[in-house]
Amino acid sequence: MCPPVDDAPTTNGNATDGANGVNGHANGANGTNGSHPGFTAVETRQNPHPHMQANPYAPVGDFLSNISRFKIIESTLREGEQFANAFFDTETKIKIARALDDFGVDYIELTSPAASEQSRKDCEAICKLGLKAKILTHVRCHMDDARIAVRTHALAQVVIGTSAHLREHSHGKDMTYIKNTAIEVIEFVKSKGLEIRFSSEDSFRSDLVDLLTIYSAVDKVGVNRVGIADTVGCATPRQVYDLVRTLRGVVSCDIETHFHNDTGCAIANAYCALEAGATHVDTSVIGIGERNGITPLGGLMARMIVADRDYVKGKYKLEKLKEIEDLVAEAVQINIPFNNYITGFCAFTHKAGIHAKAILNNPSTYEIITPSDFGMSRYVHFASRLTGWNAIKSRVDQLGLQMTDAQVKAVTVKIKAMADVRPLAIDDADSIIRSFHFNLHNDVEKPLLPNMTEQEKEKFEKAQKEIAAEPEKRELDETVDKEAEVPRAKKTKTSIAA
């Protein structure tokens, strides 16, 4: 059984290594429980990553890099509202905004108040919450939208398409119009004493000269940030690095980045952008957004904590990540993917025997991220044909049973054989271990596993005979018998029922 959360020792609100943190369980709209069938949270030695004198995974030093001083613009309530399943009522928006603020994001971006009357009311309501995070609203580069945004007291994030695709098939404006309108909107918003960002849409399919020209123009009139957006997810990390590096030489203001994940590069692109001199990254919880969404908040945290653990842990309440993801997943009626960064069912689960042995000795052998930093647990899957005796030995100790190494190896063989017959749950493996232990110390042979079908019994008996034919197995059985307190009872056909 996985240890309850209350049993995990904590330091400054974060669970320590060992049987650490809350369950890393699958979750979603249906509110599944925290069980990890066939898995167990295990006590391990301390993960040495936090105590390394030098971080071998840290980026190469660069005076332009912002890996250790980036800011997050959290866009679940703007980009995330464009997700296919999303419908956030006011109450839900407020809950998400408060949760993101508690987590520590720098900005919370909202849907344009010009989009609908309810969007305007929601924007005003969230602006009045008194959150630590700055509240932004994403609007078109148009004076009408800018006036509405100013009235809500949200900071303006103005955007307009600059690629030939969007200029021809979306708004139909040329670059001269775009530049003049951008300057007009920026000067208006700044006259109200508010922060403003200007972003090109579809930046990576825009002409480079056009981009640099308009960015230079808005920088000169005092925009707080310029933004680049990989609107269709076509960019590669190298392209991102080159564009941001070039832009860094043209503007003196901050640089915001927005990456869609259509080709799976959103996190890598965000990281490269920071290396090249970008200052802000747009994220959404679980990455939800238009189509395949954008850079996921949890995925970015996974990437950045490896680069600069102290900065990330000092700024963000990482143990709140799972709570936020559960909140958003329920709101949009999806399950957290099994391989989700940090909080997925399998994120800190180890199955292969060679992995389990190393993890038990030193978690850093197969973990680059410490689960307790996020309030999560690591798990070892010991109820499978891939299990190793070290994992079984750990489980024997957790069950409070005494076995020699030879006896643990012998019961491991039985578990692996049974796993060849049918899938095993954690209770099945525990039953085999307990029954095997009972048989070591009693004259009566107890079935290893009750309630097996006749077909399963036959398969298991066959597997046992094949294993028993191996010289190594016969030698192991002899050692186990010698170490038992009473001679092993002679096996009968019914005693093999497992």
* Number of helical H runs and strand E runs in the chain: 17, 13
Cβ contacts of 385-389, under 8 Å, gap ≥ 24? 385/416, 385/419, 385/420, 386/351, 386/352, 386/353, 387/351, 387/353, 387/356, 387/412, 387/415, 387/416, 387/419, 388/352, 388/353, 388/354, 388/356, 388/357, 388/412, 389/353
Provide the Cα torsion 309, 312, 317, 318; round to 10°: -60
Half-sphere exposure of 356 (CA within 13 A, CB side): 25
Number of Cβ within 10 Å of residue 31's Cβ equals 9
- Kindly tell me the sign of the dihedral angle through the C-alpha atoms of 40, 41, 46, 50: positive
Q: How far apart are CA 498 and CA 485, in angstroms?
A: 23
Helices 426-440/405-421 angle, 10° precision: 140
Q: How far apart are CA 321 and CA 319, in angstroms?
A: 6
Q: How far apart are CA 376 and CA 107, in angstroms?
A: 26
Q: Which two tokens stand for residue 315?
A: 């700024």
Q: How far is CA 377 from CA 85, 344, 392, in A?
A: 30, 11, 18
- Ordered alpha helix ranges (H), 367-453: 389-398, 405-421, 426-440
The residues near 373 (Cβ < 8 Å, ≥ 6 apart) are 14, 305, 309, 313, 318, 319
The residues near 471 (Cβ < 8 Å, ≥ 6 apart) are none
- Ordered alpha helix ranges (H), 51-191: 90-103, 117-127, 143-152, 164-169, 175-191
Number of Cβ within 10 Å of residue 339's Cβ equals 9
Task: Catalogue the active-site residues.
Answer: 355
Number of Cβ within 10 Å of residue 251's Cβ equals 18
